[in-house]
Structure 1
Amino acid sequence: MRVGILGAGGIAFGAAAYLHLNGHDPILWSPSGASTRELVAGTPLKASGAIDLSFRVRIASSVEEAVATSDVILVAMPGNAHRMAFEAIARIVRSGQPTIISSHLSFGALYLSRLIADRGIVAPIIAWGTTLTTGRKQAPTEVGVNSVRSKIDVATVPESEIDTGLALCTELFGDRFVRRNGLLAISLSNLNPQNHLAISLFNLTRMERGERWGQAENVTPAVGRVMEELDAERLAIAAEFGLSVRSIKEHYSLSYQLPIASIADMNADLHNRGRGGFGPATMQSRYVLEDAPFGLWPTILLGRLVGRPASLHEAGLAMLSAAYGRSLADENDLLPLLGLQDLPRERLQELTRTGH
């Protein structure tokens, strides 16, 4: 299948490499063009680590080309670029052409669904709770893939498309997808915001100074305990909605093929295996600028809605906002368009199942 990948970062490169390995035909689109300039010039894309190959990848000169020449669209961009991507997709997507969001944040699938419906067409939207791969770009044409996740939570908008969505994801990326009960479950299944909150907050000076530091090795017992407490808040909110979502320990085990233990011990194991990766070396990191407004803030609002305040999430968001000197919650440009914070609980649950 031909897959148009919107994005050109580590996650997009990892997905392109896996699709090529699995016999499919990816095409990458970078909004600025800067991230794919050397690939356009003919340099192969090289993946190393959990995926090891080098291949020539097609590059789209415009979002119109990426969408029009593809069977499926895959959005692999930071959350603060999702609104731009969704508005571009909605203008040109074909009836029946699926869009996969990797990974889903801030109920963005509802915004895309609304835009598509305004055109009078029907096109399914598939939301993942996390990304296919972990890792980072190591050079303009190289990506280091730390792992390929063995399980990925998935839901569709509308929910009635879940069987078709599961079949499509399996055909493209293998038998690794777990259906969840609608978009609300997916929105409470993305663990990156809570995990990155603890990791970045307790290593913020390293980020600010541009240090090279091991991520997993610095998830010490103290940091691990905070991560587990943040997880407990998220799980309590999901339980109030009657939803089953994966715990942080299950997430680590399935993402990195580790035996279940404390989060600190699992990270120590990951580090000892040489797969612990490196933490952000800049304050301009998606760990904060994407995950705080588009991940932490929606979880906080959901906790308020069901009477389960996410106190640690709120405190962490406030601390990061103070450190950055601005309100990170205000940088979410999707939630104000949806007005979800003003919806009754029952209406929110209906909306996340049907898309309307």
Structure 2
Amino acid sequence: MRVAVLGAGPSGSAMAALACWRGHDVTLWSPRGGGTRHLGHELATRGVLEGSWRIRVAADLWRATETAEAIVIALPPVAQPAILQRLASALVGTPDILFAPAAGLAPALLHQFAAARGFVPRLGALAVPPALAGRGADGVVEVTALRPRLWVGGQPREATAGLVVLTERLFGLPVEPLGDILAAGLTEPGALVEAARILAPPGVAHAVGRLLLGLAAERDAVGAATGRTGLPGIAALVTEQGGLPAERRPLTETGAGLAFLEAMARASGTPAPLVSAALHVLETAAGERFGPHPVLAALEPGPLARLLGGG
């Protein structure tokens, strides 16, 4: 299968390598070129996925996606609104598109842009990326763990079953269905994990775990209020990746993730005092605001209301 991976950070590069390992024809694109300028036609990885993988490096978004049968988007939330608008204009045909991870409700935003052009590709959101990865000092991508399973939600909901098959074909890992993209966005654990790591008092045994469980309980309450019950538990999401990741999440991404969850809590009338407090403490410490979530700021009210109503 011809696959385009948009985003050449450690996670995107690891997914590109994993897709190559599975025998797919992979093109990698970096918005600023920083993740690909050191590459020729090979992407090197080490760790649990070791090797040199033959890829194409695209100079622009159109060349990256023009022949793709599947597109994997691994971009930070702040970059997504502008790039998704460009992607909707650049798309040829209707390739399947996966967001890894979900980045809030980014698939709904791409749906909005694509529908304005008169076509709607099948869109999916992964709750977690298939690999944990960082980049070594020498530029080589270090894959520290592959997840034993993945979760995907689709837009529309009926697309989820087909996207499960696609994701398994891409990455060779078992995949479980989530109801839709909102379930995937709520499940994404990165912001909660990093917030707990930052805010837990040092030297207090199990403080990170207790704070993380408290934040996750509020996430579950938001899920229940919006009809997304049975979300994967935070303990499984962390332990199945081998514990807390060595690679630290950028503060802006952590803040955006908390802002998304706070917005979903507010919209569903669900109290989330820990999430709100964590967001406000980090904003105060950083001297900047992390809300509104960039995807939510660009999303029209109608699609959000339908998702919150279970549609």
- Cα distance in 2 for partners of 1:235, 1:334 equals 21
Tell me the matched-pair count. 310
Give the secondary-structure state (helix, strand or coil) at the position aligned to 2:46.
Answer: strand
Q: Which residue of 2 aligns with 1:289?
A: 252
Q: Which has the larger radius of gyration?
A: 1
Deviation at 1:175? Answer: 3.9
Q: Which residue of 1 aligns with 2:308?
A: 349
Give the secondary-structure state (helix, strand or coil) at the position aligned to 1:51.
Answer: coil
- Cα distance in 2 for partners of 1:140, 1:84 equals 31
Q: Which residue of 2 aligns with 1:207?
A: none
Decide whether the 8 Å contact of 1:36 with 1:140 is kept in 2. no
Deviation at 1:297? Answer: 1.2
- Range with greater deviation from structure 2 (137-146 or 105-114): 137-146
Decide whether the 8 Å contact of 2:134 with 2:143 is kept in 1. yes
For structure 1, the residue ranges without an aligned partner over 5 or more in a row are 205-217, 257-266, 268-275
If each structure's helix is expressed as a fraction of its own residues, which one has the higher value? Answer: 1
After TM superposition, which residue ranges in structure 1, 4 or more long, deviate above 6 angstroms? Answer: none
Query: Quick one: structure 1 residues 341 and 121, their matched pair in 2 at CA, closer, same or farther if it must change by over 3 Å?
Result: closer
Query: Quick one: structure 1 residues 203 and 26, their matched pair in 2 at CA, closer, same or farther if it must change by over 3 Å?
Result: farther
Q: Which residue of 2 aligns with 1:223?
A: 208
Q: Which residue of 2 aligns with 1:338?
A: 299
Is 1:153 aligned to residue 114 of structure 2?
no
Is 1:52 aligned to residue 70 of structure 2?
no
Give the secondary-structure state (helix, strand or coil) at the position aligned to 1:74.
Answer: strand
Identity %: 27
Is 1:307 aligned to residue 269 of structure 2?
yes
Choose from 88, 91, 94 the match for 1:93.
91
Q: Which residue of 1 aligns with 2:239?
A: 253
TM-score normalised according to structure 1 size: 0.81
Which one-letter code corresponds to 2:226 in the other structure?
F
- Cα distance in 1 for partners of 2:77, 2:235 equals 24
- Cα distance in 2 for partners of 1:16, 1:219 equals 39
Alignment of 1:9-48 (within 5 A): 9-40=9-40, 44-48=42-46
Which one-letter code corresponds to 2:141 in the other structure?
V
Decide whether the 8 Å contact of 2:76 with 2:103 is kept in 1. no
- Cα distance in 2 for partners of 1:96, 1:343 equals 23
- Cα distance in 2 for partners of 1:152, 1:82 equals 22
- Cα distance in 2 for partners of 1:220, 1:12 equals 34
Deviation at 1:200? Answer: 2.7
Which one-letter code corresponds to 2:26 in the other structure?
P
Deviation at 1:71? Answer: 1.4
Give the secondary-structure state (helix, strand or coil) at the position aligned to 2:210.
Answer: helix
Deviation at 1:146? Answer: 1.3
- Cα distance in 1 for partners of 2:36, 2:113 equals 28
- Cα distance in 2 for partners of 1:229, 1:32 equals 37
Decide whether the 8 Å contact of 1:45 with 1:141 is kept in 2. no
- Cα distance in 2 for partners of 1:23, 1:158 equals 28
